[in-house]
Structure 1
Amino acid sequence: MRKLTSLVPALLAAAAVVVGAAPGAGAAPGDTVTTTVEKVIESLPVAAEDSAGYSAGRFRHWTDPDQDGCDTRAEVIIAEATTPPAVDGRCTITGGAWHSYYDKKDHFGAGALDVDHLVPLAEAWRSGASAWTDEERERYANDMGDPRVLAAVTASEKRRKGDRDPARWEPSDDSADCRYIAEWAAVKARWKLSVDSDELAAMQNMVVECQTEEITYELAL
């Protein structure tokens, strides 16, 4: 899995950093925010969810913006390999090894993997993406600017997760809970998505068991 710490220097060099008790206050798209997981959770807007009008097709995903023959899904799988695979000109991936942090399983070969939107497309729609432009939804669905947005994980674990939020799903490996909550909060904050009351309560309950962690994220909107 790509390391969160490897992202921080690049983000700090790319944009201004806003530090304080109200994460994102006064920041513009492209700025970065440095704060704690607890403060991010407390800063997320709370709103009822609405699924009306949702379909996965509203988020154009698995595009190939650099036109190298590998779409976003393949790029994530390649980037998250713990042992690099071989990749041919048609983006066929062979060999390699991966670690799925949701369920603490190692995979040799990409066949058992899928790429998960940590905050699922349906959840994003319910939390504010329904008001975005088509271009903004496409950017979200293919967001490789922050390694927390997309994750190469065991395909069966992704299916179990579905479009559930932390009130209804958590990783089967309990030791991954703190990472999952930190990443969920960072992605929601990066894309200015809301949380519902049950989701917020679940996040607050889970983070109590976690060591206080400073995180940095770049605002996408």
Structure 2
Amino acid sequence: MFERNSRFLLLLCLFVPFFVPLAVAQEAGLPDGFVYVDEVVPGVNVELRYHTEHNFVGTPIDGYRGARCILTREAAEALKGVQEDLKPFGLGLKIYDGYRPQRAVNHFVRWAQDLSDTRMKQEFYPGVDKADLFKEGYIAEKSSHSRGSTVDLTIVPLEAAESEAELDMGGAFDFFGPESRPDWPLLTPSRRAHRMLLQTLMRNHGFQPYPKEWWHYTLKNEPYPDTVFDFPVQ
């Protein structure tokens, strides 16, 4: 009897993993066509803001269960080229956000509709009434990030830790205001040069800038232009 029970337990241990629900198994990995950027771009610096409280909402965002940046393979390979162009000058890329699940975008929408929550206003949108965030185009119900080939980024010293200074772009990531436009006319020459350096390199490797945010770029020939994804970042 003991020997028979032992055999049963052994068989149970061998076959249980195959009965894990499909949804759980899929969430454990990445969909086909997506990669972790740090596995493709050597030395890239990642500070995934929406995994932290340091963002315009002031709390970790739905869907960001981990701090690793995800992009389509095509976008990540293109970023690798940008990183290689910067490396001879002792510079590299720092990423604030890449693929963004639709549930995160929904979180932004709910936050924008709650006009009583303005705790992060002074840092991120001091000159904009929260009631106007939709009208001004700072918040929307869909984001190109959810298609997997859009990235928010800047330039840093190649060996920089997260606490070290970035190149001075004349404005912070996710600042809602005209100062964030890539061509804002009141920039100093050095800040304009830094923005143009980033834009030139990103264009050279197939990315298209967004006219309202100096940090925001989308791969021109993105592989999923009509698909919105919602798998979590983890």
Higher Rg: 2
- Determine if the TM-score, normalized by the shorter chain, exceeds 0.5: no
TM-score norm. by structure 1 comes to: 0.27
Higher RCO (CA < 8 A, seq sep 6+) = 1
Structure-2-length-normalised TM-score: 0.26
